[in-house]
């Protein structure tokens, strides 16, 4: 953590309500990416820190794109696709927006986000507060209308609307997929948030199969030949660290059976006694690595694995890559490490580019 950010964190952010601090930091990042004058200033100031280029050392060929660096931003930070450019300027190799739901929704009542300072973690029960898939799709459409916006690798993470009963989940996910597929480099079906009642039950393969099938059809229809984003959009599923090993295997088998493109592992854990919501940050690292290694063993080299959970430094990313991940993401340590966190990690990785289990590394 830089000394300046350490002082800012101790003196200002730590004293603020965590969600307010997030909103403040978020609006600065959003503006740095959208206001042209600010963008030039910030890009100029960050230039010495940002070495990675698509095709340069450390870049990864995946999803039919070259991802400039293997460490990206995890779902939940930019739920409405407002700050994709600003986040990329901070050095994330790619950005996953969402979770987005078909219907706009306010999320759970506040407070719903807590710092767990002793473990440098966060606990949250946000409940997919977001402006809905149509709003996010419109922002991604605008992003893709510029060359700089098209160059960014963006995933879209979709979840079930709270008002939708479980039996209607496939159609609800399909609505979001149809809207977002034309503008996304990959889609993630999130069935692992602990904060929408019953959502994690959708990880059971008999519930998951119809959802993934409906999303595949909707994405294909939305990106058919002759449409704006004509191509086959890769489809991944995001799973919880709390699944039993046999259930991780069952998801992997379903990925192979349905010809899915990969898995994002892992979401927050409910395996703690700190209060309501899912815990994230360093306590997740061990189980995250275990789940990724298990998935890679079961999946073989084909499907993409995005490893997430407890990454604080470049060595943690290296551990995920060794376990079999192709790409990695983080969220919680951004809060504690500050604005140079992603670029520090990706620069360290670029200097020591190696190989992953699947050989997609440049
Ligand atoms: C405040 C907060 C909100 C989150 N919201 C989402 C979300 O909307 N969708 C999702 O798939 N994951 C969400 N996550 C989980 C992260 O994407 C990630 O899987 C998890 O935090 C583990 O990574 P980390 O230890 O680097 O934070 C959220 C995490 C946090 C801390």
CATH code, domain carrying 168 = 3.20.20.70
Q: Which atom of ligand 1 is nearest to the CA of 333?
A: 26
297 vs 71: CA distance, rounded Å: 22
CA 41 to chain centre: 27
210 part of a folded domain = yes
For 188, the domain range is 3-351
Query: What integer best gives the mean pLDDT of the chain?
Result: 92
Q: Which atom of ligand 1 is nearest to the CA of 128?
A: 8
| Residue 99 three-state SS | strand
* Distance spanning both ends of the chain, measured CA to CA: 28
359 part of a folded domain = no
Q: Are 314 and 349 in contact (CB under 8 A)?
A: yes
- pLDDT for residue 200: 85
* pLDDT for residue 355 is more than 50: no
| Residue closest to 188 by CA, chosen among 60, 313, 73, 334 | 73
30 part of a folded domain = yes
142 part of a folded domain = yes
Q: Give how many domains the chain has, as a whole number.
A: 1
What are the angstrom distances between the C-alpha of 282 and each of 24, 255, 316, 333, 337? Answer: 24, 28, 10, 8, 13
341 part of a folded domain = yes
Q: How many angstroms does the Cα of residue 111 sit away from the middle of ligand 1?
A: 17
Residue 176 beta carbon below 6 angstroms from any ligand 1 atom: no
- Encoded tokens for 333: 């340590």
- Categorize the per-residue pLDDT at 358 as very low, low, confident or very high, splitting at 50, 70 and 90: low
Please give the backbone phi and psi of residue 52, each rounded to the nearest 5 degrees, phi first: -75, 140
275 vs 359: CA distance, rounded Å: 41
Q: Are 277 and 194 in contact (CB under 8 A)?
A: yes
Give the tens place of pLDDT for each residue, 260-311.
999 999 999 999 999 999 999 999 999 999 999 999 999 999 999 999 999 9
330 vs 319: CA distance, rounded Å: 14
Q: Which residue from 19, 76, 108, 115 has its CB within 8 A of the most atoms of ligand 1, so it is best to mutate?
A: 76
* pLDDT for residue 117 is more than 50: yes
Give the tens place of pLDDT for each residue, 183-242.
999 999 999 888 888 888 888 889 999 999 999 999 999 999 766 667 899 999 999 999
Residue in 59, 161, 192, 193 annotated catalytic: 193
Q: What is the DSSP letter of 78?
A: S
- Which range (100-109, 190-199, 321-330) has the least confidence? 190-199
- pLDDT for residue 357: 45
Looking at per-residue pLDDT, the higher value among 6 and 147 belongs to 147
Burial letters for 199-220: b for 16+ Cβ neighbours within 10 Å, e otherwise?
A: bbebbeeebbeebbebbbebbb
87 vs 154: CA distance, rounded Å: 11
- pLDDT for residue 65: 94
| Residue closest to 75 by CA, chosen among 334, 252, 326, 314 | 334
Residue showing tokens 């854990």: 269
193 in catalytic set: yes
CB-side exposure of 353: number of CA atoms within 13 Å?
17
358 part of a folded domain = no
Q: Which atom of ligand 1 is nearest to the CA of 130?
A: 8
* pLDDT for residue 21 is more than 70: yes
Average pLDDT estimate for 81-108: 97
Residue 130 beta carbon below 6 angstroms from any ligand 1 atom: no
| Residue 278 three-state SS | strand
Average pLDDT estimate for 328-353: 92
360 part of a folded domain = no
CA dihedral over 73, 77, 81, 82, signed as positive or negative: negative
| Residue closest to 157 by CA, chosen among 221, 114, 202, 215 | 215
Residues ≥6 apart with Cβ < 8 Å to 146: none
Is 146 labelled as part of a ligand binding site?
no
């Amino acid at each position: 953590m830089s000394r300046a950010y350490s002082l800012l964190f101790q003196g200002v952010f730590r004293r603020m309500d965590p969600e307010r601090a997030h909103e403040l930091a978020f609006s600065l990042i959003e503006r740095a990416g959208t206001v042209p004058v600010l963008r030039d200033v910030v890009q100029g100031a960050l230039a010495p820190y940002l070495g990675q280029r698509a095709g340069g050392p450390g870049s990864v060929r995946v999803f039919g794109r070259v991802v400039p660096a293997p460490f990206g931003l995890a779902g939940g930070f930019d739920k409405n696709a407002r700050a994709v450019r600003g986040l990329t300027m901070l050095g994330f190799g790619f950005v996953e927006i969402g979770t987005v739901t078909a219907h706009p929704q306010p999320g759970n009542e506040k407070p719903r986000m807590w710092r767990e300072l002793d473990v440098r973690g966060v606990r949250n029960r946000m409940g997919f507060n977001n402006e809905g898939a149509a709003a996010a799709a419109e922002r991604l459409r605008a992003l893709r209308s510029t060359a700089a916006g098209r160059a960014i690798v963006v995933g879209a993470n979709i979840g079930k609307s709270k008002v939708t009963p479980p039996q209607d989940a496939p159609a609800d996910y399909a609505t979001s997929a149809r809207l977002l597929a034309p503008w996304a480099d990959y889609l993630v079906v999130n069935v692992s948030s602990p904060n929408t009642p019953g959502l994690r039950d959708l990880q059971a393969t008999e519930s998951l199969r119809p959802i993934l099938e409906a999303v595949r059809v909707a994405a294909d229809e939305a990106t058919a030949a002759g449409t704006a984003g004509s191509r086959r959009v890769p489809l991944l599923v995001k799973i919880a660290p709390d699944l039993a090993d046999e259930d991780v295997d069952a998801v992997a088998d379903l990925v192979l059976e349905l010809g899915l493109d990969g898995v994002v592992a892992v979401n927050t854990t409910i395996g703690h006694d700190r209060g309501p919501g899912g815990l994230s940050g360093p306590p997740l690292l061990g189980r995250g690595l275990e789940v990724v290694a298990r998935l890679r063993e079961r999946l073989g080299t084909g499907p993409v694995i995005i490893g997430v959970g407890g990454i604080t430094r470049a060595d943690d990313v290296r551990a995920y890559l060794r376990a079999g991940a192709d790409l990695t993401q983080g969220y919680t340590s951004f809060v504690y490490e500050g604005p140079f966190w992603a670029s520090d990690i990706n620069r360290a990785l670029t200097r020591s580019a190696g190989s992953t289990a699947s050989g997609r590394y440049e």
